[in-house]
């Protein structure tokens, strides 16, 4: 679990006074956070929102403009006399943030600049589950190098890389503790990927895929700004990211959200985690493919690993044509989706449950069954008006959230990408 940095305390127990460098870093972060949350603001707007003196804001803005982290975007007029204010916006076109996701059957990348402009976005089919961790990390490193080069051609140098993984992650150490569907145990992914990238010298972070996707949904998805939501990945495995009170819920050790391993059927199938009857054995993509297209099931000898989007497109075409076997398979998955969703609704009382991945692609067929079960099984209904909604971010939600996490780290500590400059003592 990531801990917030703390100031070292003096012998008497009181926090030492913050020096000019610490105050400068905090104030730069304050300004950048305001600009991240708004299209543009004037210096006066920023001073009012942050409580900083206007002279301090002007000094900070001069530095940020010099570093090309913000840009002036025009003049706005305020009040009856039309007093002009020069507006500024987040810029940083030369500062990159690379988000990646490695999952059972693909690797995805989403690279942006500091303002969120997309520089590279792609997904490549890859049999991670069948390749072993060493080969998978090498492939991940190759994809990362290609993405970094593409970002550099676009004029941005990555200031960080974040990798989304479907499993338990020790975020502080960058270690994948357990990813059952990848057969990974105690894999020091951050260190290994950093070693592969070598001279690029880019900080690497690792986090759970559902957590990062939930952050993407909260910041830019269909339920953006909803303070209480649950995000469900629709992959071979099923994970959950929980936003409670506008904050990501990590739990005591950072391992919350493993909702795919809720035991829903004691007489069910064995899960990749080794247990029986886990929720993802009922609603994961592998379960749907096995029921809807058994001849193309995951794990069959000699069966190539296609893009998950292609599998889902095949099923969607079958559903549109009225294929009875596929209709029955999707109805069954929808009912199990609603049952598990009701457990989450009873536990966390979210306003929405956002479904991603293949769930979103097949939402028109899945959601009627899932919503019926949700309304039937939620104890607080109809008072708790929770509903399923389909994500618009597709299979790229986790990599998008990973890039956003890098941007947030930069904004929280902009000094990490800025060489020291002599400045007035007004900081």
In the sheet that 168-170 helps form, which strands lie side by side, from edge to edge? 168-170, 175-179, 184-187
Residues 161 and 204 sit within 8 Å (Cβ to Cβ): yes
CATH architecture of the domain 222-392 equals 2-Layer Sandwich (3.30)
Q: pLDDT-derived band of residue 297, with 50, 70 and 90 as boundaries?
A: confident
Q: Is the pLDDT score of 2 beyond 50?
A: no
DSSP class of residue 270 equals B
Output the pTM of the full model.
0.85
Rounded Cα distance between 175 and 170, Å, is: 5
Cβ atoms < 10 Å from Cβ of 401: 32
pLDDT in tens, 116-148: 899 999 999 999 988 999 999 999 999 999 999
CB-count exposure of residue 115 (10 Å: 0-12, 13-18, 19+) = middle
pLDDT in tens, 21-72: 888 889 999 999 999 888 899 999 999 999 999 999 999 999 999 989 999 9
pLDDT value of position 400: 95
Min mean pLDDT across 154-158, 194-198, 251-255, 379-383 is at 379-383
The stretch 66-95 carries a mean pLDDT of 80
Q: What are the angstrom distances between the C-alpha of 251 and each of 2, 44, 246, 248, 255?
A: 11, 39, 15, 9, 6
Q: Shortest CA distance to 38 belongs to which of 75, 91, 89, 87? A: 89
Residues 100 and 107 sit within 8 Å (Cβ to Cβ): yes
* Torsion, Cα of 360, 364, 365, 368 (10° steps): 100
pLDDT in tens, 316-331: 999 999 999 999 999 9
Q: Is the pLDDT score of 174 beyond 60?
A: yes
Q: Is the dihedral of CA 51, 55, 60, 64 positive or negative?
A: positive
pLDDT value of position 362: 97
pLDDT value of position 260: 93
DSSP class of residue 199 equals G
Class of the domain covering 20-91: mainly alpha
Q: Which element (helix H / strand E) includes 157?
A: strand 157-165
pLDDT value of position 211: 95
Q: What are the angstrom distances between the C-alpha of 262 and each of 183, 208, 240, 290, 367?
A: 19, 17, 11, 20, 20
Residue 9: alpha-carbon gap to chain centroid = 34
Q: Is the pLDDT score of 82 beyond 70?
A: no
Q: What are the angstrom distances between the C-alpha of 35 and each of 23, 180, 223, 260, 411?
A: 19, 40, 21, 37, 10
The stretch 344-348 carries a mean pLDDT of 94
Q: Is the pLDDT score of 372 beyond 80?
A: yes
pLDDT value of position 156: 94
pLDDT value of position 375: 92
pLDDT value of position 307: 81
Contacting residues for 318 by C-beta, under 8 A, at least 6 apart? 292, 326
The stretch 366-388 carries a mean pLDDT of 87
Domain boundaries, the chain: 20-91, 95-211+399-412, 222-392
pLDDT value of position 353: 97
Pure H helices in 222-261: none
pLDDT value of position 162: 98
Rounded Cα distance between 163 and 205, Å, is: 6
Q: Is the pLDDT score of 80 beyond 60?
A: no
Q: pLDDT-derived band of residue 305, with 50, 70 and 90 as boundaries?
A: confident
Class of the domain covering 95-211+399-412: alpha beta
pLDDT in tens, 204-254: 999 999 999 999 999 889 999 999 999 999 998 899 999 999 999 998 888
Same fold, 95-211+399-412 and 222-392: yes
pLDDT value of position 380: 80
SS3 content of the chain, % helix, strand, coil (to 5): 45, 20, 35
Q: Is the dihedral of CA 221, 225, 226, 232 positive or negative?
A: positive
Tokens encoding 102: 């490695």
pLDDT in tens, 405-422: 999 999 998 877 875 433
pLDDT value of position 395: 87
């Amino acid at each position: 679990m990531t801990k917030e940095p703390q100031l070292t305390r003096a012998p008497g127990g009181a926090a030492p006074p913050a020096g000019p460098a610490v105050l400068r870093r905090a104030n730069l972060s304050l300004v950048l956070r305001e600009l991240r949350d708004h299209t543009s603001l004037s210096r006066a707007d920023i001073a009012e929102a942050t409580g900083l003196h206007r002279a301090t804001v002007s000094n900070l803005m001069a530095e940020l403009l010099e570093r090309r982290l913000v840009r002036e975007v025009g003049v706005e007029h305020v009040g009856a006399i039309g007093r002009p204010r020069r507006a500024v916006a987040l810029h940083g076109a030369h500062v990159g943030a690379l988000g990646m996701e490695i999952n059972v059957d693909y690797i995805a990348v989403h690279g942006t600049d500091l303002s969120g402009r997309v520089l590279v976005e792609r997904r490549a089919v890859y049999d991670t589950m069948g390749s072993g961790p060493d080969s998978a990390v090498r492939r991940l490193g190759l994809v990362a190098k290609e993405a970094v080069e593409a970002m550099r051609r676009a004029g941005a140098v990555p200031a960080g890389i974040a990798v989304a993984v479907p499993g338990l992650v020790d975020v502080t150490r960058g270690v994948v503790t357990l990813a059952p569907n990848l057969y990974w145990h105690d894999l020091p992914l951050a260190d290994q990927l950093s070693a592969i990238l070598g001279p690029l010298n880019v900080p690497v972070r690792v986090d759970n895929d559902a957590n990062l996707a939930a952050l993407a949904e909260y910041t830019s998805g269909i339920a953006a700004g909803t303070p209480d939501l649950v995000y469900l990945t629709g992959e071979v495995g099923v994970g959950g990211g929980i936003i409670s009170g506008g904050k990501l819920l990590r739990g005591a050790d950072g391992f919350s959200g493993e909702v795919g391993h809720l035991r829903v059927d004691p007489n069910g199938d064995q899960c990749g985690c080794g247990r029986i009857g886990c929720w993802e054995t009922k609603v994961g993509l592998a379960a749907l493919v096995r029921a809807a297209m058994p001849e193309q099931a995951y794990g069959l000898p000699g069966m190539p690993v296609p893009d998950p989007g292609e599998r889902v497109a095949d099923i969607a075409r079958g559903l549109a044509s009225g294929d009875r076997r596929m209709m029955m398979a999707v109805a069954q998955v929808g009912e199990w989706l609603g049952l598990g969703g009701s457990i989450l609704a009873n536990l966390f009382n979210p306003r929405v449950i956002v479904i991603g991945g293949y769930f979103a692609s097949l939402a028109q067929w899945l959601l009627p069954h899932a919503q019926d079960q949700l309304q039937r099984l939620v104890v607080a209904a109809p008072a708790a008006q929770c509903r399923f909604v389909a994500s618009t971010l597709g299979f790229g939600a986790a990599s998008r959230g990973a890039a956003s996490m890098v941007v947030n780290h930069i904004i929280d500590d902009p000094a990490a990408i800025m060489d020291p400059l002599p400045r007035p003592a007004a900081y």
